[in-house]
């Protein structure tokens, strides 16, 4: 009995296990395969629209006068008097007498020169009359041509030269007398004063340093590649020069507030700086010391450091997008149908600060990706959020 049990028991266990396995298999649920769920990436975007853009070029420089010069004396003498304008910072007009020298010596020189002219004039007239008398006597006695010495032609020429020299001496004396009054060569302002009443000056001595005030100039450095956006022609030999170029807005913090002045470009300088590789354009501001309607506005003073905004060329149908949207040098990521992201090559007109100006490759109402992506493949699914909305959520 025990032998049969040993034989039947394993068979029963196996049969029972097989039956259980069949029951488990028969009762399993139906498994239908499903496609993996793809999650969309949340990205910041900006919707683009073409517009007409005027390029602005930024630079800076120091205000300088049109003309700076030393006011020198052309004659010697003691300073007898000075103008009330002859002080550091004083304004003066063209032709105004700034310094009076003692003119007594030059007045005496004029008197002596006039006496010499009178003597020379008398000698010339005597020689002229004697020549006529000699010529008449020769003709009465001779039929031949009168010799030059007999007609006193050399003597008359000498008397004429002496008269011319006397007149030149008189003109020089009168000129020196005028130079005893040192006049302003242009309308301007005194920078520094180097002489005063009672001081003896010599020819060539500087009495003051002055500068003109009819207009001021600012040299503005620009990289040579920025000249393509400047609406100003290069100067060529023999070409006519335009009187006024693009507008320039000058800015500076002065007298406790932000101040602005209007100017315009007048020329491009002759050469490129061999160290900075910059080329300078020159802005001109007319009448910088004139009183404006705003009486609290200060003048555009010489030596002031200013920021300049230069009005450049105007372009049509340009897309201005944030610079961060540019990928791999000249590509952007745009969203097409079904919120899928694709890379596209564009033509960049200019990169200026945080803005990129695109001339080709975009269309109105397209959305351009601004977010940084670690990985990207064409056609990836994204969820766009406008840049303004994304900022509000932060």
Q: What is the CATH number of the domain that holds 370?
A: 2.40.420.20
pLDDT value for 30 = 57
Q: Give domain status of residue 19, yes or no.
A: no
User: 235 and 132 in one domain?
Assistant: no
Share of the chain above pLDDT 90, in %: 58
Predicted confidence (pLDDT) at residue 348 exceeds the cutoff of 90: yes
User: 90 and 191 in one domain?
Assistant: yes
Q: Which of 267, 292, 315 is the last residue of a domain?
A: 315
Predicted confidence (pLDDT) at residue 334 exceeds the cutoff of 90: yes
Give the mean pLDDT of the chain: 86
pLDDT value for 376 = 85
Predicted confidence (pLDDT) at residue 1 exceeds the cutoff of 70: no
C-alpha distance from residue 6 to each of 10, 15, 384 (Å): 7, 15, 74
Per-residue pLDDT of 169-202, as tens digits, reads 999 999 999 999 999 999 999 999 999 999 999 9
Q: Which of 280, 315, 350 is the last residue of a domain?
A: 315
Predicted confidence (pLDDT) at residue 392 exceeds the cutoff of 50: no
Residue 370 and residue 350: Cα distance in Å, rounded?
18
pLDDT band for position 38 (50/70/90)? Answer: low
Q: Give domain status of residue 25, yes or no.
A: no
User: 157 and 125 in one domain?
Assistant: yes
Find how far residue 22's CA is from the centre of its chain: 94
Residue 226 and residue 277: Cα distance in Å, rounded?
12
Predicted confidence (pLDDT) at residue 208 exceeds the cutoff of 90: yes
Question: Domain total for the chain?
Answer: 4
Q: Domain holding 232: CATH number? A: 2.40.30.170
In the chain the first and final C-alpha atoms are separated, in Å, by 85
- Residue (of 299, 297, 296) closest to 286 by Cα position: 299
Residue 205 and residue 226: Cα distance in Å, rounded?
46
Q: Give domain status of residue 97, yes or no.
A: yes
Is pLDDT larger for residue 143 or for residue 303?
A: 303
Its pTM surpasses 0.85: no
Domain that holds residue 153: 103-178
User: 189 and 94 in one domain?
Assistant: yes
Predicted confidence (pLDDT) at residue 225 exceeds the cutoff of 60: yes
User: 234 and 174 in one domain?
Assistant: no
Q: Give domain status of residue 27, yes or no.
A: no
């Amino acid at each position: 009995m025990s032998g049969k049990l040993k034989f039947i028991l394993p068979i029963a266990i196996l049969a029972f296990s097989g039956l259980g396995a069949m029951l488990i298999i028969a009762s399993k649920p139906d498994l239908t395969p499903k496609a993996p769920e793809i999650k969309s990436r949340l990205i910041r975007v900006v919707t683009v629209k073409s517009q007409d853009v005027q390029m602005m070029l930024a630079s800076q420089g120091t205000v300088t006068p049109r003309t700076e010069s030393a006011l020198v004396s052309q004659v010697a003498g003691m300073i007898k008097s000075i103008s009330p304008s002859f002080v550091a910072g004083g304004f003066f007009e063209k032709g105004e007498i700034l310094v009076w020298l003692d003119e007594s010596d030059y007045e005496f020189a004029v008197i002596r020169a006039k006496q010499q002219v009178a003597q020379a004039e008398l000698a010339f007239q005597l020689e002229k009359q004697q020549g006529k008398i000699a010529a008449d006597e020769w003709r009465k006695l001779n039929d031949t041509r009168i010799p030059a010495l007999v007609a006193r032609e050399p003597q008359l020429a000498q008397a004429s030269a002496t008269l011319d020299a006397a007149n030149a001496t008189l003109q020089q004396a009168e000129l020196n007398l005028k130079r005893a009054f040192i006049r302003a060569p242009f309308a301007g302002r005194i920078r520094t004063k180097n002489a005063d009443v009672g001081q003896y000056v010599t020819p060539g001595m500087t009495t003051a340093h002055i500068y003109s005030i009819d207009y001021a100039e600012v040299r503005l450095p620009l990289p040579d590649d920025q000249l393509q956006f400047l609406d100003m022609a290069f100067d060529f030999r023999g070409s006519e020069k335009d009187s006024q170029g693009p507008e320039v807005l000058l800015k500076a913090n002065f007298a406790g507030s932000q101040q602005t002045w209007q100017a315009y470009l007048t020329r491009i300088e002759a050469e490129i700086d061999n160290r900075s590789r910059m080329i300078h354009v020159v802005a001109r501001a007319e009448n910088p010391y004139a009183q404006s309607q705003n009486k609290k506005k200060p003048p555009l003073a010489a030596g002031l450091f200013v920021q300049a905004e230069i009005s450049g060329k105007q372009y049509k149908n340009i897309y201005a997008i944030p610079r961060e949207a540019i990928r791999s040098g000249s590509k952007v990521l745009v969203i097409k149908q079904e919120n899928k992201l694709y890379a596209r090559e564009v033509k960049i007109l200019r990169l200026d600060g945080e803005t990129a100006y695109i001339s080709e490759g975009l269309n109105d109402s397209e959305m351009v990706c601004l977010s940084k992506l670690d990985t990207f493949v064409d056609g990836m699914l994204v969820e766009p959020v406008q840049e303004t909305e994304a900022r509000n959520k932060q």
